[in-house]
Amino acid sequence: MAKGKKSIFFCQNCGHEEAKWLGQCPACGEWNTFVEEKTDSGITRGTTAGSRAVRESVREAKVVPLTEVTADDETRCKTGIHELDRVLGGGIVPGSLVLVGGDPGIGKSTLLLQVCRVLAETKKVLYISGEESQAQIKLRANRMGDFTSNLYLLCETNLDIIRGVIEKERPQLVIIDSIQTMYSDDVASAPGSVSQVRESTNIFLQLAKGLCIPIFIVGHVTKEGTVAGPRVLEHMVDTVLYFEGDRHASYRILRAVKNRFGSTNEIGVFEMRQEGLAEVENPSEYMLSGRPENASGSVVACSIEGTRPILIEIQALVCQSNFGMPRRTAAGTDYNRVNLLMAVLEKRLGMALGNADAYVNIAGGIRMNEPAIDLGIVMAIVSSFRNRPIDEKTIVFGEVGLSGEVRAVNMPEQRVAEAKKLGFKTCILPEVSLKMVKGIRGIRLIGVKNIGDAVKEI
């Protein structure tokens, strides 16, 4: 068959293909996401040489029993950055493809350059940039300290050249910054398009698995906070990491939303400094710094991220509304969950919140959606509504049901131990969780069955 060019329309959100343009994607339901791409309309099929090559490949392919495959955590490579190792599941797995996404200026390139600095002491590292020149990378590297000669730079966007360099140099770690700048001459579309991003990722996937080289890819994000390009990009890689946090603030949170080699619940906390990203070993103490004294509407709750308990300050401001429609705002937690908890307070405790504005905020800008912070949100709203401050040495946690009951949460002993370590004297928790924390001394434990009991205690 003769080769030719024809138009295919791709959905930029999910990668769905159609022969013509559509206003709404039938796969994901998004509007105005189809873009036109030029593709090859035909390929040569059924040739004798091609069939012979396939038969040859089948003869060379070997199947191996699962019981004979050896794999352990010792094969992981430590990055020297403990917070990053925690999110990756213990270190970098050889041959893995890792996607790092985040807002512009959040610290993606800075973090990866710090990884290069540590690993270049013992390994050969190749940093490929399609956005910065070698001089610009050098200026950023000077702020971090001295680098060894094992770190090599390549400023290139052509995938054929990049593949040749990787196969020739055989580095032990490759950084791609960023995937949206890479292009292949075989794809007749602009860099950053759906076809180019998908083709580029596929090439790096083949290099990572074929040469057993871990590759980190930097990906830009859209205004919705997802990686730009089709969602198939996230399905192709082994691990997807997202940087969260306000780029104007000093903290950064690295979260794994996909990880084939570890948990997706772990987070890493960093602080942006002049010399780069510094690890925050005790995020609870960092999140609680600057707490107000004797202020109503402020309470400390505990959330679990993976295996790590993190204490957070929940703030609430409740006041009478000057408009017919009360305003409700939630920052750092689910808006609908706040409305649900306020409805529970109205129904079960008789609190007149129907004509009140309510503003709920998790201090520090961190986002938490774990049900265990329900009781903290309830206590903060009650404290602000009645204008009665809660003892600053008291911590609360527990899930609240629609009947006003306080339900059990997982890992209560780790939460109480973290609170005790930071000097808290009283802990209000679900009564059904008391038997799991009886062995912890030095902190007063108060078990509650419902939100009415919790309100009486404060």
Q: Each residue of 22-52: b (16+ CB within 10 Å) or e?
A: eeebeeeeeeebbeebeeeeeeeeeeeeeee
**Structure-token match 């007149």, residue found:** 352
- Asked if 243 and 100 touch (Cβ cutoff 8 Å), the reply is yes
Q: Judge whether 106 is annotated as a binding position.
A: yes
- 219 known ligand binder: no
Establish whether the linkage from the previous residue to 129 is cis, with ω within 30° of 0: no
Note whether 134 and 151 are within 8 A (CB). no
Is 306 flagged in the annotation as binding?
A: no
| Encoded tokens for 165 | 């360099």
What pairing do the DSSP bridges indicate for beta strands 399-400 and 406-407? antiparallel
Q: Return the percent helix, strand and coil in the chain, to nearest 5.
A: 30, 30, 40
User: Residue 109, annotated ligand binder?
Assistant: yes
Residue 390 known to bind ligand: no
Q: Check whether 20 is labelled as a binding-site residue.
A: no
Do 377 and 333 form a contact (C-beta atoms < 8 A)?
yes
How far apart (Å, rounded) are the C-alpha atoms in residues 313 and 291?
A: 8
Question: Alpha carbon of 222 to those of 12, 115, 166, 192, 228: distances in Å?
Answer: 11, 25, 29, 12, 5
The answer to whether 263 is a known ligand-binding residue is no
**Distance (Å, whole) CA 407 – CA 373:** 11
Q: Any binding-site annotation on 103?
A: yes
Task: State the pairing for strand pair 239-244/17-18.
Answer: unpaired
Q: Which amino acids are annotated as binding site for ATP, given as ranges?
A: 102-109
Q: State the binding site.
A: 102-109
